[in-house]
Amino acid sequence: MAENQAMRWYVLRAIGGKEKKVKETIDREISIGGPVGDNVAQVLVPTEKVFQVRNGKKIAKERVLYPGYVYIEASLVGEVPHILKGMTNVIGFLQDKQRNPIPVRTSEVNHILGKVDELTLSEEEFDISFIVGETIKVINGPFNGFNGVIEDVNEEKKKLKVMVKIFGRKTPLELGYMDVEKE
């Protein structure tokens, strides 16, 4: 580390949707060495898992928690800030009124790092709770668009027994949590 300045966390503003590209570019610079390699410890783009239903299949997708922001642990000495600001898809640092990069508080970084660790540990946790007697709408499968009333909830298997009115007749269906939405 040059010029005896401590590593601190900073926020780089990036073009929305390009956060991972910025991280890859900085990681590449770190591996090459030079001023960035010597003064940047790590780059972080916090993400979370989101589940969607597409064509009847549940798909896990990663979503950036803070769109437009890349967290970087660095010592901003010499030309390092200029090199980072000049990278493709980088807008600049989060700055104070004097246009100096603002270091992120350690407590905030620990919260983000803790949140990232927590999200990677939890596999498929649904915070959706269904109640017997509640009206739902089917959003997937052959009964897509039908409304029904919940008759039974199986938390373990994430399944619902729903009574749907089809052609004037009540018909029981067993549906997964991802196949319905609350009315």
Q: Convert the pLDDT of each residue in 27-73 to its tens digit.
A: 999 998 888 888 999 999 988 877 777 777 778 788 888 899 999 99
Residue-wise pLDDT for 90-113, tens only, equals 999 988 889 889 999 888 888 877
Higher pLDDT, 11 or 180: 11
pLDDT tens for each residue of 131-181 = 899 999 888 878 888 899 999 988 878 889 999 988 888 889 998 887 888
Distance CA 36, CA 84 (A): 8
pLDDT band for position 84 (cuts 50, 70, 90)? very high
**Cut 0.75: pTM above it:** no
pLDDT at residue 120 in the model: 58
* Structural domains of the chain, with CATH: 2-121 (3.30.70.940), 135-182 (2.30.30.30)
Compute the distance between CA of residue 22 and CA of residue 93 in angstroms, rounded to an integer. 13
Residues 40 and 7: their CA atoms lie apart, in Å, by: 8
